[in-house]
A and B are shown apart, each in its own frame.
Chain A
């Protein structure tokens, strides 16, 4: 049996109210429930309404956090660094060019092991100048050491943003987390969501202890980030130890993410596949690999194909960093061909970045699996059931032995 995307338990214990909202507002509700100490904001499309909601919540006393209206994303994250080193729980959101401008402190955050949570309301890269959704921004950051988790639904945005604090602040992890939700589709897509109860969230997150390992505190004086490395003395070994520690934290995160999700399901009744979701995969001959909000349309297309007798399923990735190699390989083993649908481009490999990573896992399955790269949904373009039906057809051809060069651009004729 495939893992269902969402096991709806009616009348769950932790539900306070049911509201209708978009993904940006859902994220703001999650921030309110996570009780951060400091939120620093700088607006950017399509994240802007998110920080507007958060600011309004703070203005209304719904969030009791310090609000910093900072002069740019670079300082946004820097302020969060300062607060986290003083022991504060922090939040911000950004995307696209804002994320690019934030890069210098962003790049540094994992090395400092600061458990900062930031929403990425994903946006395509420039140029051409563009203000619409796409995952190019988040994918560009995949080698920086941040945990990246991609949401499929508005409810999942709310739930996962809260879970992010549990994951980031876990003492075996201590890494920053990006909760990625697709610009336009999730940021502005309105649905009904359940808002958990504050007390249940408080129990779920527990006491925070942000700076037990690194702090700027006169009561515990230490030098934060001395020059480390070089070619002699204790430097090289020390540097390696820091790197190894970070890699270890990343790997530890896999288990922590799973635990965070199963505890969430126990309390709040919503059970998400934490790493990789398998949809109608067990008896499938081939599958599409998807990421984020596109998965809904992909599932519809698979359902339709199934009616036509195609033995096709879906492998959806939720946790992209750390990459769930085992879970992915386990899923891949069940099929003979996969078509990987990316919402961004992997320059130089002429494919999508997710495709490239799936390819690495194919080797781990020990079996020949035919693979093809699909790229769609760039710059806010819609990925409909029709697009996925096309992807299914091409993947079926792969299964039959017709390989193709280069990616299939799903929106090229739109």
Chain B
């Protein structure tokens, strides 16, 4: 039986930040990290750029082997957590290895959802979450001429753009009638859609796939409206969902993701969870939410680690705030917090003459509720903090509405000194 003090499953943003934080206060207790990947740690966010060839797999390694050595962290790669015995504080890996832990962090991220589309099971298609996926997709893209992307979420949009950069004819099929729902309002979404259209990507919004079937090298895709698409390459990007099979037999409560409190503790003793695998407190509401964004994975990893290592500086998790910094064909769409006004929310919008610049501020009781922009300079990190800290903007309200950038900078800088 192998033993370790801290066992971290997952070696991506949440897991790596956790290991780093633990080492800030606990230099000696053994840390072991287990990752499913054979490839050294990388970010899933980089994968679309691997697909386009802009990024090379060898140059996107988040932590080199010497980092693990320096921090005295044992990294077990190419293996997978498959079962947890919470009473004995033991885990079993796919290889059969068993580990005894004192504290366990689950930071295993999320896996692509495979939609129940008839015919999909017998059709070759791609997903994009791991380096293996990316390399396979890149290699295939090199040979293909046409690509269809199912889903206009983050992964789909990034995937589509990069496939376009790789020289393919690309079509996006999305059930909703706008891209990136939840992050951007319809006006911003339309600017994004326009850019995609302008760059030769076919946008089939509000379309449903009813069936797929293999055809030659590729496949044929049947839409609900009767149209059909032919393609050599199919990328399924209809969302992600944590894979939680390893929880079987444990008392770890879960819904869509693992339920955690504001210190990232699960319902089971000595087990924490962080990152895309969790369903954590919502900053805006009472129901726990799936976040699935990188900055949040880092934050949750930090909170979990501080709690695990009993770091007194711990500040409980303030709740998830949706954030998106989206660059598409040289333009930027940024959104921090809520993007849609509801009751009790004051909405202020500004549109540039050429219709390309756009700014929307949502205030609730003179606190920032959300801000989104297109092609405007924007310090997303500052806005995020203004929301999280519920900074009262009353004394600077006019200035903030007039010049959110400068005012935000002044506010943050004054808290720093």
Direct contact of A and B (CB under 8 A): no
